[in-house]
Amino acid sequence: MPTTIKVTEPTRDRIKAIGESTQQTADQVVSHALDEYERALFWNAYRTAAEAEQSSDTTELDAEQAAWDATLRDGLDDA
């Protein structure tokens, strides 16, 4: 069922121009743009989560490294 959305004239003109140059309908142009936008949002969220995980991993690794360093300097013979 077709519906109408309100966009500015410049936006409408951009949709129309892309549609004409790619031989797509306005619906196809907007749908493709939304697909790309959703993909970008997903990967931005992924990168943010990965960076947060990496920084917490670094903290845990630093603590583990410090524990091993203390063990190596405990003065006991390697038996």
Q: Tens of pLDDT along 5-39?
A: 999 999 999 999 999 999 999 999 999 999 999 99
Residues contacting residue 16 through CB under 8 Å, at least 6 positions apart: 26
Global pTM?
A: 0.63
Statement: residue 78 has pLDDT above 70? no
What residues does each domain of the chain span? Answer: 26-71
pLDDT at 4: 92
Burial 34-57 (b: 16+ CB within 10 A, else e): eeeeeeeeeeeeeeeeeeeeeeee
- C-alpha span between 16 and 18 (Å, rounded): 6
